[in-house]
Amino acid sequence: MSRSDKADPRRFVKYLEAERKASMLYRSLAEVSDGERREALLELADIEDDHAAHWLAKLEEYGVAIPPAPDHLDAEDAALVGRARAAGMDDVLARLEEAEGADAGMYDDEPEAPPQMSVDEREHAETFRRLRERGPAPGEVERGIIGAGGEVEFGETWHRVDTSGSVRAAIFGISDGLVSNTALVMGFAGTGTDNGVVLFAGVAGLLAGAFSMAAGEYVSVASQRDLFQHELEKEAEELREKPEEERKELELIYRAKGMDRATAKAAADAIFKDPQVALDTLAREELGLNPDELGNPYKVALSSFLAFAIGAFVVVLPYLLAVVWPDTFGSTIPLIAAVVLSAVAMLIVGGLVGRLSGRGVARGALRQFTVGALAAGVTYIIGRIIGDLTGLSSTGLG
């Protein structure tokens, strides 16, 4: 804003009209909303009315003619209300968030605007973003309540998950090791080569896959941890520099989850009495992470290595025994034993995954077995073709 613009009190007319327009829009949208969205829209309208009253006082102070208040929505706002009535609020809230974000700094260079007015405008966009987020469905997560000491408590701990990633890495490690190494061993077995070569291929596949899996998980979790740590540091900086804005943001988060205004304010006030508790809570509620469980890359890497190795060892075991006791196992028993052991292991692992995911044991087992059997069958056939073309079959199992 130029120096001449700052000296012209007629600029207050523009501010007044914008605040009146926003208030009328929010109240109209509240009429087609319910629950928390309705309350939030009415609260935003009240804030816009307070802003409008400030500019009315300024116009009177400077002796500028006050325009009449609008008695109807303009065409663009009327279309927004119509869209909300016909298709719901989600799309409209996104549009409002975008508009408020674009206008968030309208009072930054205005000397006659109170500091809180700029804060309010920035919080409006955040409010719309929170309202767009889908809150927990009834029965999924117990609402936060104020404990005896003023702290916020949350129930139903059975919803908590393994945020460190070690369980996930172990499950997928076993599955990946089982399927990939079974396919590799079946491919070599299909060529008709001797059991020693198949064993070597299986051990090589086990080690290569396990180390690759561990390295990939280490890099992934370490990078994720660094990112989360950076986000925590930024949140801590904002908490130090703008504690009131962050407190208000936490209050809005709780309101978006279903708390009434008084309870949300009491919860935010209680939490912000301790800066560390405030930071931990904002990390969970705003960033969606638990500062105590950012993930240990070494733990996840080791878990991945061992899990892949266990899964991959299943198909290797019969060939290991055949090499150690060749007279006992012969040339064909290891292949049959490897097929049977791998099939049983796939059914067990798939059933376990199905149970943990809630998809059902039978469905998970069948899916794992089907995928593994197809992969192993294809590689065995390809190995058989290669064995016939290269003459390996004539000297081995073929």
- pLDDT tens by residue, 52-91: 999 999 999 999 999 999 888 888 888 888 888 877 787 7
DSSP conformational letter for 145: E
User: Strand (E) positions, 46-155?
Assistant: 145-146, 152-153
Which positions of the chain have pLDDT values less than 50? 134-165, 395-398
DSSP conformational letter for 395: T
- The reported pLDDT for the residue numbered 249 is 79
- The reported pLDDT for the residue numbered 96 is 83
- The reported pLDDT for the residue numbered 133 is 64
Residue spans of the domains in the chain: they are 3-132, 167-222+300-390, 228-293
The CB density around residue 23, as the number of other CB atoms within 10 Å, is 22
- The reported pLDDT for the residue numbered 325 is 86
Q: Which long-range contacts (CB under 8 A, 24 or more apart) does 79-83 make?
A: 80/25, 80/29, 81/25, 81/28, 81/29, 81/32
Distance in angstroms (rounded) separating the CA atoms of residues 118 and 114: 7
Checking DSSP bridges between strand 145-146 and strand 152-153, what pairing results, if any?
Answer: antiparallel
- The reported pLDDT for the residue numbered 6 is 60
DSSP string, 16-33: HHHHHHHHHHHHHHHHT-
Q: What is the pTM of this model?
A: 0.51
Question: How remote is the C-alpha of 33 from its chain's centroid?
Answer: 28
DSSP string, 153-216: E---GGG---TTSHHHHHHHHHHHHHHHHHHHHHHHHHTT--HHHHHHHHHHHHHHHHHHHHHH
- The reported pLDDT for the residue numbered 23 is 92
Distance in angstroms (rounded) separating the CA atoms of residues 183 and 251: 54
* Residue 366 structure tokens: 């069948």
Question: Side-chain half-sphere of 59: how many Cα atoms within 13 Å?
Answer: 19
- Reference 376, options 351, 345, 353, 342; nearest CA is 342
Is the CB of residue 334 less than 8 Å from the CB of residue 322? yes
